[in-house]
């Protein structure tokens, strides 16, 4: 097995793959209502995605997360997931997981567990069906709840991801936490990041988690713990619920110094940082030959350019997004 180390000495062991930029929801902080998606002809086939992921596993990636867009709306995605499951069996990979909006989970939960998936992240920003429809523009909360039930029945561990949104769910966060912990699910709160043009003003949505934490501390006893999942969240134990709460704070606390990941899009573009425009095309070297020599070289070259960190800014003077692509392209 190889290993990938970037110019700042960080070992790259985590690959996130956006298997599609399409989605059955249109969350208002993530997408514009009228989104233009990548042309289908530019997409990598599932076989090509497998080959790319496998090249990364051979170069030292230990954790693979499929995301999107909505990974479970990509046609035949289970074929890819089953194929990648072989790396768990050989021990080359520690974890194969996904981030999903939950809408298709009822259908796929058993099969995911059968492929070796043990934990998943499900994004959910409210427990109110009407508000859920508003934030996702047309999502059905009952379907997501059925998906959560199916996933727990299949034995999958679930972490709920909630984007903290000013004026939308800030009053609901403690209820969401009690609900998640009551069902033995971890909860992670995320700050909105300035990625891609959306229809709303991000300054109106942005809620610093430092404020949220202070608010929660009026009701709950939060104790910092060293728990890590390989991602950027910092965790606390919540005494009153007995559960774990994570904070992903790209805006108020920069976590780049421990970054161990890179991100691949469904067209084979590798982003070395979520918050920067620089990228490397891996589709051309992938398609140029059947062997992986060119691909390996392109990956090494890309890792040697991994930047130190992002420069996200959200304020009234900065109305443009920090990066022009949407989160659904690079995968959240």
Q: State the minimum distance, in angstroms, from the CB of residue 294 to ligand SF4.
A: 31
Nearer to ligand SF4, 6 or 70 (CB): 70
One residue of 97, 99, 249, 269 binding ligand SAM per CB under 6 A: 99
Q: State the minimum distance, in angstroms, from the CB of residue 167 to ligand SF4.
A: 18
Say which residues have a Cβ less than 8 Å from residue 122's Cβ, sequence separation at least 6: 99, 100, 101, 102, 105, 144, 147, 148, 151, 158, 159, 160, 161
**Cβ proximity of 187 and 148 under 8 Å:** no
Q: State the minimum distance, in angstroms, from the CB of residue 41 to ligand SF4.
A: 21
Say which residues have a Cβ less than 8 Å from residue 2's Cβ, sequence separation at least 6: 58, 59, 60
Q: What residues numbered 224-263 form the site for ligand SAM, per CB under 6 A?
A: none
Site residues (CB under 6 A) for ligand SF4?
Answer: 23, 25-27, 30-31, 68-70, 101, 123, 328
Q: State the minimum distance, in angstroms, from the CB of residue 38 to ligand SF4.
A: 13
Sign of CA dihedral 316, 318, 322, 328: positive
Element housing 150 (H / E): helix 141-153
Pick from 40, 6, 45, 51: which is nearest to 257 by CA?
A: 6
**Cβ proximity of 326 and 29 under 8 Å:** no
Query: Interface mask (CB under 6 A) for ligand SAM, residues 183-222, using x and -?
Result: -------x-xx-x---------------------------
Binding-site partner at residue 271 among ligand SAM, ligand SF4, none, CB < 5 to 8 Å by type = none
Tokens coding 286: 């992938």
Q: How many residues bind ligand SAM (CB under 6 A)?
A: 20
Q: Is 189 helix (H, G, I), strand (E, B) or coil?
A: strand
Residues in the chain: 332
Binding-site partner at residue 161 among ligand SF4, ligand SAM, none, CB < 5 to 8 Å by type = ligand SAM
**Cβ proximity of 66 and 101 under 8 Å:** no
One residue of 100, 126, 249, 322 binding ligand SAM per CB under 6 A: 100
Nearer to ligand SF4, 25 or 132 (CB): 25
SS (H, E, C) 114-129: HCCCCEEEEECCCCCH
Q: State the minimum distance, in angstroms, from the CB of residue 276 to ligand SF4.
A: 20
Nearer to ligand SAM, 270 or 298 (CB): 270
Binding-site partner at residue 72 among ligand SF4, ligand SAM, none, CB < 5 to 8 Å by type = none
Nearer to ligand SF4, 35 or 113 (CB): 35
How far, in Å, CA of 113 to CA of 96, rounded? 10
Binding site for ligand SAM (CB under 6 A): 23, 29-30, 67-68, 70, 99-101, 123, 161, 163, 190, 192-193, 195, 327-328, 331-332
């Amino acid at each position: 097995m190889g290993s990938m180390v970037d110019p700042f000495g960080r070992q790259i062991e985590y690959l996130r793959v956006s298997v599609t930029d399409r989605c059955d929801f249109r969350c208002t902080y993530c997408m514009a209502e009228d989104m233009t998606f990548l042309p289908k002809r530019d997409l990598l086939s599932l076989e090509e995605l497998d080959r790319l992921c496998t090249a990364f596993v051979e170069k030292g990636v230990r954790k693979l997360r499929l995301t999107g867009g909505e990974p479970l709306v990509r046609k035949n995605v289970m074929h890819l997931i089953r194929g990648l499951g072989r790396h768990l069996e050989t021990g080359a990979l520690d974890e194969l997981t996904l981030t999903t909006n939950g809408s298709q989970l009822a259908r796929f939960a058993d099969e995911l567990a059968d492929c070796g998936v043990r934990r998943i992240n499900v994004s959910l920003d409210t427990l109110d069906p009407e508000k859920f429809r508003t934030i996702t523009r047309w999502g059905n909360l009952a379907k997501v709840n059925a998906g959560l039930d199916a996933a727990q029945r299949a034995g999958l561990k679930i972490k709920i991801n909630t984007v903290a949104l000013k004026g939308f769910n800030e009053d609901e966060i403690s209820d969401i936490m009690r609900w998640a912990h009551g069902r033995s699910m971890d909860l992670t709160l995320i700050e909105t990041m300035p990625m891609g043009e959306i229809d709303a003003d991000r300054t109106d949505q942005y809620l610093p988690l430092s404020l949220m934490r202070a608010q929660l501390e009026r009701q709950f006893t939060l104790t910092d713990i060293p728990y890590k999942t390989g991602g950027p969240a910092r965790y606390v134990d919540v005494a009153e619920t007995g559960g774990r709460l994570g904070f992903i704070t790209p805006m108020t606390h920069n976590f780049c110094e421990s970054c161990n990941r890179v991100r691949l899009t469904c067209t084979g573009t590798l982003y070395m940082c979520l918050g920067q425009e620089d990228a490397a095309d891996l589709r051309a070297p992938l398609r140029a030959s059947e062997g992986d020599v060119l691909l390996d070289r392109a990956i090494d070259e890309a890792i040697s350019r991994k930047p130190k960190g992002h420069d996200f800014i959200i304020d009234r003077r900065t109305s443009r997004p920090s990066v022009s692509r949407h989160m659904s392209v690079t995968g959240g």
